Structure 1
Amino acid sequence: MKRLIILFVSLFFSITTYAEQITFGIVPQQSAITLANNWGPILKYLSEQTGEEVVFRTAKDIPEFERRVAAGEYDIAYMNPYHYTVFHQKPGYNAIAKQKDKKIRGIIVVRKDSTIKELSELSGEKLAFPSPAAFAASVIPRAVLEQKSISFEPKYVSSHDSVYLNVSKGFFAAGGGIERTLNNTSENVKDQLKVLWRTPAYTPHAFATHPDMPIEQQKRIAEALLSLNNTEGGRELLKRINFKGIETASNSEWDDVRSLDIKLLNHLLATNSTQ
């Protein structure tokens, strides 16, 4: 009986170590398992630094992630540049940080043994993309292909990893992604691919907090993220997601994306209210 009481007390205090639970949504560019493996240790670190339980969340695909962010389901979210410009408007997510010294570029990949050397050779092909509103991996490549009058049939396969896998297996002539997720994908897939083309560069993904999160809590999260830069252990954690560092960010830094006047997700602004 005494042992049971001790076990119960131990479990109670382990469960109540953290003052509050904070949901951290990660855009599902890769599988949930891969994201959890790469981001889990970072969220554990944030929990230890803030004294609040920061828990991993994602979605089955990018459109579902978009719906959840639009509904304000995450306390903090790591979202692509276009997502940020949309969800800053409504429900009002606010950028607190971004990857340090980084601009995001989309890429189009083909198999290493592909004879395709120019974008024009993709005319008439079926091309794989993660989702319609995946900014660098889908929106920008598709826009450039359309500007160049290169006809193609887009197919949406739910994640960056799925794009790379499908192209590596020869199911599609080419597909869209970004360099970070290509570098993070499995070696046996990556070794079968090469980059055909890169997009222009834009402000990268945002770490953004929900408008209902108290300012002091936002500051603690931001400080914890930035502190990853300061120790060898923190920098090792950042290497798991192919970051060299994290820096503070302000809303205006995404004006380069706003200047593109993309309207793909305007329907979410019309149908969701602030949570």
Structure 2
Amino acid sequence: MKFVHRLCVLCLVALLLPGGPARAQSQLVLAISEGTSGGLDHGRVIAKYQDLANVIGGVLRTKVSVVFAREFATLESGMKDGKFDFVMARPSDYPARGMRDNGYHYLASAQPDGQCLIVVPKDAPIQKLEQARGKRFVMPEQVSYMSRFCRAELRDRGIDLAKENVQYVREQAAVTFYLDNKFADIGAIASYSGPARKLDKDGFRVLHRSVAQPYFPLVAHARFKPEQIKAIQMALVSLPDKAGGPEILQRIGIAAFDTSGEDRMNVLLDWLEK
């Protein structure tokens, strides 16, 4: 009985102390997913995004810790169970599902926006997208976000990939490989991919740019109040003009945060799935 009594007293003291469990529970979590990008471990993700978490924590006057959601299943279950206070993830359909299915609030997305680029070799005779019908397409793997993104864009432009000759490849770098080696006539890649940054150098040109969609969105759990959401958005938008802000953005690999993409996020899944 004495042991039980002493244990209860210790637990009560721990709850009342500033550094006790009550304080630990007040710490928030920012989950990060960079999709299928390789080469990152938890330590590198913390180093890359902790300063951003500190900006959010500074607004809310609490600690925000970074967690690396390496697997998409972890990301989705974390949002479903409410374990993540904030989520910044690509591809964009995961935060969009968090908003639609789990009540998350849109905070911001990265600039520039994401686009599907329809590309061809520089010397290809194709000059207009309409001329792509009947040609050999090479696309990212069929279940990927960018493949669905490009498929939706081409659908809206009157090209049904179900009726075309399409080869799907695992890596976007393989798209330009297929084009370079004449295994395909037309390819599709993400505007923010590695191959997209060196198209001209590697001998390719953009035949068509899709409609722009939010890239790398940041969303917040429904437990946050509208005034808190607004304050965080203001802090994110002002980063380019704040001391240390440009370095935070550069470390993440984006130009700025944009808070005007909520409407597009709300209809993104419908657009992809219709």
Which TM class, normalised by the smaller chain length?
0.5 to 0.7
Aligned residue-pair number: 237
1:108 corresponds to 2:83: no
CA change 1:42–1:213 in 2 (3 A) is farther
Q: Indicate the residue corresponding to 2:152 in structure 1.
A: 143
- Please give the secondary structure, in 2, of the residue aligned with 1:166: helix
Runs (5+) with no aligned partner, structure 1: 1-12, 265-275
Q: Indicate the residue corresponding to 2:32 in structure 1.
A: 25
CA change 1:17–1:115 in 2 (3 A) is farther
Runs (5+) with no aligned partner, structure 2: 1-18
Give 1:96 deviation, angstroms: 1.2
Aligned 8 A contact 1:25 1:57 in 2? yes
TM-superposition CA deviations, 1:102-144 (whole Å, max 9, x none)? 443211345667676555447463523256351xx32232134
What amino acid maps onto 2:248 in structure 1?
L
Task: Report the TM-score, using the length of structure 2 for normalisation.
Answer: 0.62
1:74 corresponds to 2:87: no
- Please give the secondary structure, in 2, of the residue aligned with 1:207: strand
Give 1:208 deviation, angstroms: 0.5
Q: Indicate the residue corresponding to 2:49 in structure 1.
A: 43
Q: Indicate the residue corresponding to 2:188 in structure 1.
A: 176
Aligned 8 A contact 2:28 2:85 in 1? no
Give 1:245 deviation, angstroms: 1.8
Give 1:252 deviation, angstroms: 3.2
Aligned 8 A contact 1:111 1:167 in 2? no
Give 1:34 deviation, angstroms: 9.3
TM-superposition CA deviations, 1:205-245 (whole Å, max 9, x none)? 42101224577875675455345222353213313444332
Higher Cα Rg, which structure: 2
What amino acid maps onto 1:179 in structure 2?
S
What amino acid maps onto 1:44 in structure 2?
Q
Aligned 8 A contact 2:117 2:207 in 1? yes
Q: Indicate the residue corresponding to 2:202 in structure 1.
A: 192
What amino acid maps onto 1:45 in structure 2?
D
Aligned 8 A contact 2:42 2:68 in 1? no
Mapped partners of 2:241, 2:224: distance in 1: 26
Cα-Cα RMSD: 4.4
CA change 1:214–1:233 in 2 (3 A) is same
Aligned 8 A contact 1:105 1:202 in 2? yes
Aligned 8 A contact 1:18 1:53 in 2? no
Which of 129, 142, 150 is equivalent to 2:140? Answer: 129
- Please give the secondary structure, in 2, of the residue aligned with 1:229: helix
1:225 corresponds to 2:233: no
Q: Indicate the residue corresponding to 2:248 in structure 1.
A: 237
What percent of counterpart residues are identical?
18
